[in-house]
Amino acid sequence: MTLEKKPGEEGKSVKAHGLPLTINIGLLVAGAILITVVLTINFFNWRNGYLYNSEVKNNIKMVAETVGSQIVGPLSVSDRDAVANVIGNIAGANQQIADCLIVLKDGDVVFYDLDGTRIDKKFSKKMLNPMLDYVTIPIVLETGFGFGVAVNKDRIGRLMLGIQYENFLKNERIRSVVSFSQNLSKNVAGSVESGDFIQVRDMMSNMVGNRKTIAYAELLHEDGTILFYSEMGMSVEQSHTKEGKPENSKEGKRALKLTTSRPVLIQYTHGPKGGLVLDISVPVLKKNKKLGVVRIGYSLDDFLQAQKRSRLMLAGIAITFGLLGIGFSLMTSLRISHPIRTLATAARRIGKGDIDQLVKITSGGRETRELGESFNQMIAGLRERDLVKDTFSRYVTKQVAEEILKNPDKITPGGEKKEVTVLFADIRDFTSFSEKHPPEEVISHLNTYLSAMVDVIFKYEGTLDKFIGDAVMAVFGSPLPHEDDPLRAVRTAIEMQSRLKELNERWIREGKAPLSIGVGINTGDVIAGNIGDLRRMEYTVVGDNVNLASRIEGLTKSYKCPIIISAATYLKVKDNVMARKLEAVTVKGKAHAVEIYELLEYHV
């Protein structure tokens, strides 16, 4: 590109007129990149929180429906103690349910605050906690059944559960503290029952130790007496002065109301030395009898500091990307005036396979047209094929990969709903095996096993979705479906067990330890598509039916069955298999029981 001077401008520098405009364009582009990065990070943070809270709300809705179906009878006969027991047993242990109201049809309120307190008054919006999100379902009494269908449906009221949202990290922290408190409670239960309070003190001291995150730890007798007390920075002598005295704090008195139907109490308070504290209380139980309460005050100072550091890190990432964008934009802007043919040569390199470079030229000229043609060749000839090839060649059979390369439009970029059969296979007691054998032998065993299992999956044209440690997840019906996908999954499971038997026989002859696996299979609708971003994208399936397949695999250990399939899968393969019906089970995440079958053998 050349710049022509106007008459009378002979003494002026051409660069003085051209360079600032180029830099300004670069700064404008960089500013747009920086703003986009910041907005994108904030959007993804908001989106992740929204999706997590939506999932929480859906789970609470299932809890509400379960409670609603079980309190209809007691409400119809005004048995409020039974209603309280139902709410305590089902909703009381859920840390995200903070409030519960039952409003009758005439406006009377039967109010249970999950501590067992009840009041009778007319409903008012003032009763609702403005900090909570309420899930409301109708309570319907069905009568006059004919042919299995209720003739009369009388709405007797509504159930309202208040949800206390927490972010994912805080919920995980709460779960870990609850687990620690429950372990502590189990360990001291025997000593509390026998009255060996010296042993109680020693066990509590050993388990609590000098953990910097525990602001205080307390063991209360069922009569409210403090049996053990420990506080961060407090000497043993000072702690002993509180033992034997009654607990008078508001949080402690609430903790003493815990029952077997309300096994966890979560409170937020301020620690003895300031700072926000997560107060977790669990009952000490022996033979289902309450002997006392364990209270753990977990300091959230480190957690809040970690969140602050995360926000600063995100800000640093945004600034870094912004600076990189500024540098890239300025460099690109300043290089516009370089020879066009040099850029066209770079574009031809992109067309030959170097797809990491992205060049966009809008100025005119023959060389520019050559660059545009090369860029279009790259887009049309390599990028789409290489993306599909790189994504699928490692996970699917050769036939499937070739079909995808021929027809890449069969893969929906954003995802689609489809019916598939999901298979999970997991090695039993692999952690114990790893601890007892040298790392080289563990890796050799695992690689040999996984190679054999992948061969079987590919044999029946399944898709290897992912390895999850020593577990294998395979999908039949995505990305390319077959009419007999459930049957292919079943045959894969049977041959997996057969192939493992051959491996075990060889390992035993070599003096090595054998392995055993459990396989779970489920058929149903999922969302299949590309998940991730440009830096790391994965074609996978997600949904409730994927989770159910994983839960079913976990049941193989409990039922001592090598292969368990769901009823949905069994109905599609029952003419070709022999299976034994097991009991209907309730799995995590499912409100209703699921029928399962032990797969015995396949026949044509």
For residue 231, the SS3 value is: strand
Give the CA distances from residue 201 to residues 239, 313, 595, in Å, rounded to whole numbers and listed in that order: 11, 43, 48
Q: What is the DSSP string of 203-228?
A: HHHHHHTT-TTEEEEEEEETTSBEEE
CA distance 520 to 554: 7
Tokens of residue 372, six digits: 């545009």
CA torsion, ordered 315, 318, 324, 328, to nearest 10 deg: -150
Tokens of residue 84, six digits: 């309280």
Q: What are phi and psi of 177, to 5 degrees?
A: -70, -40
Strand (E) or helix (H) holding 101: strand 97-104
Q: Do the Cβ atoms of 420 and 463 come closer than 8 Å? A: no
Tokens of residue 449, six digits: 């096993």
Determine the pLDDT at residue 310: 75
Q: What are phi and psi of 438, to 5 degrees?
A: -60, 150
CA atoms within 13 A on the CB side of 238: 7
CA distance 68 to 62: 10
CA distance 91 to 71: 12
CA distance 512 to 92: 49
Determine the pLDDT at residue 282: 84
For residue 595, the SS3 value is: coil
CA distance 208 to 231: 10
Mean pLDDT for back-to-back runs of 10 residues, the chain (604 residues): 39 38 60 72 71 76 81 79 73 70 81 63 80 84 60 79 70 76 82 81 76 81 85 74 82 79 76 79 84 85 75 76 69 53 55 57 54 56 58 56 61 76 94 87 91 93 89 91 94 96 93 92 90 69 92 92 95 93 83 89 82
How many contiguous H segments (helices) and E segments (strands) does the chain have? 16, 18
Residue 274: DSSP 8-state: S
What single letter denotes the amino acid at residue 165?
Answer: Y
Q: Do the Cβ atoms of 83 and 102 come closer than 8 Å? A: yes
Radius of gyration of the chain (CA): 32
Determine the pLDDT at residue 166: 65
Kindly tell me the sign of the dihedral angle through the C-alpha atoms of 42, 168, 429, 471. negative
CA atoms within 13 A on the CB side of 65: 9
Determine the pLDDT at residue 575: 92
Q: Do the Cβ atoms of 529 and 418 come closer than 8 Å? A: no
Kindly tell me the sign of the dihedral angle through the C-alpha atoms of 140, 145, 150, 152. negative
Domains located in the chain, CATH noted = 14-165+302-333 (3.30.450), 168-299 (3.30.450.20), 338-392 (no CATH), 412-602 (3.30.70.1230)
Can you say how many angstroms the Cα of residue 505 is from the centroid of all Cα atoms in its chain? 38
Q: Do the Cβ atoms of 263 and 133 come closer than 8 Å? A: no
Q: What is the DSSP string of 149-187?
A: EEEEEEEEEEEEEEE----HHHHHHHHHHHHHHHHHHHH
CA atoms within 13 A on the CB side of 187: 18
Strand (E) or helix (H) holding 519: strand 517-533
For residue 235, the SS3 value is: coil
The residues with which 122 forms a beta bridge, in sequence order, are 108
If one counts every other C-beta atom within 10 angstroms of the C-beta of residue 270, the result is 12
For residue 126, the SS3 value is: helix
The residues with which 231 forms a beta bridge, in sequence order, are 216
- pTM confidence score: 0.39
Give the CA distances from residue 159 to residues 68, 112, 139, 516, in Å, rounded to whole numbers and listed in that order: 7, 11, 7, 47
CA torsion, ordered 320, 323, 328, 333, to nearest 10 deg: 160
Q: What is the DSSP string of 64-125?
A: HHHHHHHHHHHHHTT-HHHHHHHHHHHTTT-TTEEEEEEEETTSEEEEE-SSS-EEEEE--G
Q: Do the Cβ atoms of 260 and 290 come closer than 8 Å? A: yes
Determine the pLDDT at residue 493: 96
Place of tokens 């887009």: 379
CA distance 422 to 547: 9
3-state helix, strand, coil in the chain (%, to 5): 50, 25, 25
